[in-house]
Homo-oligomer: A and B are copies of this chain.
Amino acid sequence: MKKSEIEAQKKKALPYYEKAGIILTDEEKQNMEIADFGLGKVDRVGLQLIVYVNTDRVCAKEMVLLPYQVCPEHRHVPTNGRQGKEETFRCRFGKVYLYTDGQGDKDKIGVPLPDTDVTVFHETLLTPGRQFTIMPGTLHWFAAGEEGAVISEFSTHSTDETDFFTDPAIVRIPELED
């Protein structure tokens, strides 16, 4: 991504944190991470996130999804001799459509199918105050409804760089141009 694209994406995300009543420091706003998953269509497949803490044992993040934006299907694999990442998503604003391993009908999912490979369709709808815990190794993807969404994530140490993505075209760690 170009620096200008990253800055533009940060500006789009900030009003959602405000809608959720989340107070951020200027440094946190500045350090917001933009993930475009290497697909070059960040408004459709992408994620904006602020990492509060990521120590050896504990991680907490606050994520924004723009309207209908998708975080593509992946799972957290064992890393450095430890179990994969365990994470709890708690919706703070909007609607989150979360898809995890299990039975489901892809013709009845609540959001448009993403422009990337997905194989699991078991749907959980998260509205503000609702949450779901994703155990290590569980395939999952998620998307916002028409209002966008804000999600608090409580997890073990975050190791984004080892995530396994279903779509082989995906590159998790953003490449900075310019």
Seen from chain A, the residues whose Cβ lies within 8 Å of a Cβ on chain B are: 20-25, 28, 52-53, 55, 57-60, 83, 86-88, 90, 92, 128-131, 133, 152, 154-156
Contacts and interface: CB of A to CB of B under 8 A. Distances in A.
- Chain copies in the assembly? 2
Contact of A60 (B23, B24, B154): B154
A155 B58 CA distance: 6
A151 B22 CA distance: 12
B55 A133 contact: yes
Given A20-B21, A57-B86, A57-B156, 9 more contacts: A21-B21, A25-B130, A28-B129, A52-B154, A53-B131, A55-B86, A55-B133, A58-B87, A58-B88
Contacts of A156: 57-58
Nearest to A82: B57
A154 B88 contact: no
10 contacts: A24-B129, A25-B130, A52-B90, A53-B88, A53-B154, A55-B86, A57-B83, A58-B58, A58-B88, A60-B88
A87 B55 CA distance: 10
A154 B86 CA distance: 13
